[in-house]
Amino acid sequence: MAAMKPRKRRADAGAFALSRDEACSIAALVEETRRLTGTGALPVEDAVEILRSNGRINAARVDEATGEWRALSTSAICRAIRHYGFHREALSAPSPAARLSSPHPNHLWQIDASVSRQFYLADDGTQQMDKRVYYRGKPGNFERIADRRLWRYVVTDHASGCLELFYVQGAESSANLLAALMHTMTQRPTGTMHGIPKMLMMDPGSAVTAGMTRNFLEATGIEPIVNEVGNARAKGQVENAHYLVETHFEARLKLQAPVTSLEEINRLAQEWARGYNATRTHSRTGMTRRDGWLRITSDQLVLAPALDVLRQFAATPPKPCTVRDGFIRFKGGLYDVRGVPGLINGQRVNVIANALAAGDSVRVLMPGEADRQVVHYLAARVSTNAWGFVETAAEVGAEFKSLPETPADAARKELDRVAMEVRTDAEAAAARKSKRLAFGGKVDPMKPLRDAPVAPALPRAGRAADVEVPVVVAQRIEPAPVRAELAALGHYDAATRLKPMVERAGGTWTPDMYARTAQRWPEGLPVDEVETWAVELLAPPRSGLRVVQGGAA
């Protein structure tokens, strides 16, 4: 029997009729309907049917033999979705964690809280959680021991891996977080890691955003780094430290009498941390955690003030101060803020004490960039002479000192140059003086309104008002009769009207005109004869004699 020939490979093998955009739309609709548990998603065939009916996809191919469109099968669509990387297995794979590094100890600390394995501190000592008593169906049992619940705060140094732990009661709070942090920052006889870190990484929560925590971090100059919600891997070092504490320390507590107080469990915790840091080799550094932290230099180690001073920083909120000619007043001292970028005269800024140089400088809190926290700027204290004047002030009559141009001054000048369409400040001032229009008058402020595509309003149908229209009858109003006393003007009133008429015609009002008026109109000049009489007054008076041919008349 002859061997069968191998099947010929299709010319379009490896190609997909379903485009990447259509595969993306189908996968997006399926994932949109999936439950948080990863189940319950809409079937692919239903998603394709919905998107086809809405005109969002074709999911079809052209039959080369007949030239007609044929819908793709569900299996072909699923193969294309997998090829483009939109299948469930690819989407559910965890994103790779970014590798982080720190250049030296105390560059970055991580802090996190978790419920202790001992669970709560009873009258007769620590008690572990009995699953038969404390479970989801009995929330009241949790409430009864809520204030006695044991929490552990673990602090780790990112560079050396050195760790410290501190136990508190109650719940996660700003006071408990700061208590653990201040305990780690202060130098202790049994501890190694101490000082003020440059940055602190922690979980988001009310304890982190509380005003007390913000005040403390701002006063000590610690930059907070809050990881995103649900991204605990960002501080994986401290998460792993919880596991180390639970398995290497708290597991030992089961082999001895129950701990009866916070002081006792914290004392035991310090003994364990001291020994663990000094004896266990860290896999990344190849040395013990204690030896790794001790490589810190004097420039990198910022010593923390006393514990009572640290507590004051937690309770002191920032104080708003007003900038006056490049200076601010804070707790009786004068500080120079002319070097703070973006600060303008008259602006109010938040100021806090500087924990590292109390009295010599303060911290001015300014908003940072979009992806950063508040930026701290140090403002040095300014000394004054015996008369209270600033030492650097210009002496009247002896010297002249001008203040540097502020950002607000520079911005105003730049806007003037742009509006006047010139290059120099002098040209801008001259243009303003000459009343030049902004932008050369080429900007039409009404153009957007004229060009707006406003559709004509169609007449709206309505109904007639249900009211009775009154009948209006026009009334003939007869002119009021002229009063008799106003029909003629007295000689004085007549002269008052005649004089300006005569003068407007180029004549001169004379006493003879007044006499002629009184003689001609002894009872008063009629109102309707005023203009006619004014013309006659301008004519020369008629003589009593007349010339007759042949001699005198």
For 279-305, write each residue's pLDDT tens digit.
999 999 999 999 999 999 999 999 988
pLDDT at residue 351, as a whole number: 86
> In the 8-state DSSP scheme, what is residue 265?
H
Over residues 344-384, the pLDDT tens digits come to: 778 888 887 776 565 677 888 887 665 455 677 888 888 77
Over residues 195-252, the pLDDT tens digits come to: 999 999 988 775 666 777 887 888 788 888 887 654 545 567 888 999 999 889 888 8
Lowest mean pLDDT among 96-100, 321-325, 331-335, 417-421: 96-100
Contacts with 57 (C-beta within 8 Å, 6 or more apart), sequence order = 22, 25, 26, 48, 51
CA distance 43 to 61: 21
Given a cut of 80, is residue 31 above it in pLDDT? yes
38: left (phi over 0), alpha (psi -120 to 50) or beta: left
Cα angle 20, 24, 29 (rounded to 5 degrees) comes to 155
CA distance 219 to 214: 8
105: left (phi over 0), alpha (psi -120 to 50) or beta: beta
Residues of the chain with CATH 3.30.420.10: 108-293
Question: CB-based burial of residue 197 (10 Å sphere; 0-12 exposed, 13-18 middle, 19+ buried)?
Answer: buried
What SS3 state is found at 122?
Answer: strand
Question: CB-based burial of residue 249 (10 Å sphere; 0-12 exposed, 13-18 middle, 19+ buried)?
Answer: buried
What SS3 state is found at 117?
Answer: strand
Average pLDDT over residues 124-140: 47
Q: Residue 536 to residues 136, 498, 539, 542: CA-CA distances in angstroms?
A: 123, 11, 5, 11
pLDDT at residue 259, as a whole number: 78
| Token reading at 442 | 């080429």
**108-293 placed in CATH 3.30.420.10:** yes
What SS3 state is found at 371?
Answer: coil
pLDDT at residue 191, as a whole number: 81
